[in-house]
Structure 1
Amino acid sequence: MSKAFTRETDTNDGDDLVSPPLPVGGKNYITPHGYARLRSELLALIDTERPKIVDIVHWAASNGDRSENGDYLYGKKRLREIDRRIRFLTKRLEIAEIVDPAIHHGSDQVFFGATVTYLEDNSVERTITILGIDEAESNQGQVSWMAPVARALLKSRVGDEITLAAPGGVHRLEVMGVQYPDQSAQEAGN
């Protein structure tokens, strides 16, 4: 069949951006900073990026033959991507539960938003920050609160030893330190 008679599918629009699953009855915890970052991305897409691409597509469509018009074809594809991301962000922000980790400042117990330093198997010291699934970036030492290491560390205290069953084997973790952002430092940054 000729490609001219096929149509790109728009089914599952917005659902092919796989959002990390939440546990049954679980909440989509996020820090105020993470929420603001997602919200600003959403607003930038709606207010800036999408109108710019709509203008390009409109201009390209006015040039005539759309079947071989690269600006039109790529613009329409980019619009679909933007609309998909807008739907995804809107859904995630609607179910977000904002938790300010600064309320635990000074605590030695691990809760959501903590930066935890731990010793793994008495040899490797690691530091991670436990954040929401929509804001954690592993290349920056951040892990989702649903990650196995975070789940093992949650509610532990400095000095506690925890056993972590991982695909690579069982690891022993010893909590060395717990830090939370200072409320006054956060207010000064806003």
Structure 2
Amino acid sequence: MDTAPMTANGYAQLKEELRWRQQEERPRIIEAISEARSHGDLSENAEYHAAKEAQSHNEGRIGELEDLISRAEVIDISKLSGTNVKFGATVTLADEDTDQEKIYQIVGDQEADVKAGRISISSPIARALIGKEEGDSIEVQAPGGAHGYEIVSVKYI
């Protein structure tokens, strides 16, 4: 069984989503199914079929969350330090072509959100960064071609 590395914040978000799906969403869907059943013929009842589909989706996600939580390897970033890039690092990169800076934190796969500056440990950029230090240059193979970046800073916050 593979472990799933994640930050304490990511773990807390998964636990909260699981609680919400089990304690709030599940009863709401059961109520919607019950309400739709009371309308009669189930074979032509769109509300019933929609509610059953929502139930299937919710139960599938609950199973997925329970699996992730059971395999979670929570890494406390506040206890990490050093100059090498590893899981949990917040890295400032400078694009070698445009000098534009980007800041990314390396997190677990299920926590990744590029718009929020969190990239997955398994992403091409993160894989290129792991083990590097401030001042190092990396080249990342992206769908649009290779991109070069210089590591400006590495922090653990």
Name the TM-score, length of structure 1 as normaliser.
0.74
Give 1:171-186 correspondences, 5 Å limit: 171-181=147-157
Report the aligned-residue RMSD.
1.9
Determine which structure has the larger strand proportion and give its number: 2
Determine which structure has the larger helix proportion and give its number: 2
1:70 aligns with 2:55: no
> 2:139 and 2:29 mapped to 1: Cα distance?
51
Q: Secondary structure at the match of 1:164?
A: strand
Residues 26 and 86 of structure 1, relative CA distance in 2, 3 Å threshold: closer
- Matched-pair contact (CA < 8 Å) for 2:2–2:71: no
Match of 2:68 in 1: 92
Per-residue Cα deviation, 1:37-84 (whole angstroms, up to 9, x for no partner) = 011101110111111110221232133212233332211111111111
Percent identity for Structure 1 against Structure 2: 36
Per-residue Cα deviation, 1:68-121 (whole angstroms, up to 9, x for no partner) = 33332211111111111111111122222111111124x332111111001122
Once the two structures are TM-superposed, the CA of residue 27 in structure 1 deviates from its matched residue by 3.6
1:110 aligns with 2:64: no
Match of 1:83 among 33, 39, 59: 59
> 1:100 and 1:124 mapped to 2: Cα distance?
30
Gaps of 5+ in 2: none
Match of 2:127 in 1: 151
Match of 1:142 in 2: 118
Gaps of 5+ in 1: 1-24, 182-190
Give 1:25-64 correspondences, 5 Å limit: 27-64=3-40
Q: Secondary structure at the match of 1:134?
A: helix
Q: Point out the more displaced range, 112-121 or 64-73.
A: 64-73
> 2:2 and 2:53 mapped to 1: Cα distance?
34
Q: Point out the more displaced range, 35-44 or 88-97.
A: 88-97
> 1:141 and 1:32 mapped to 2: Cα distance?
17
Residues 72 and 165 of structure 1, relative CA distance in 2, 3 Å threshold: closer
Match of 1:169 in 2: 145
> 1:26 and 1:150 mapped to 2: Cα distance?
19
Aligned residues: 156
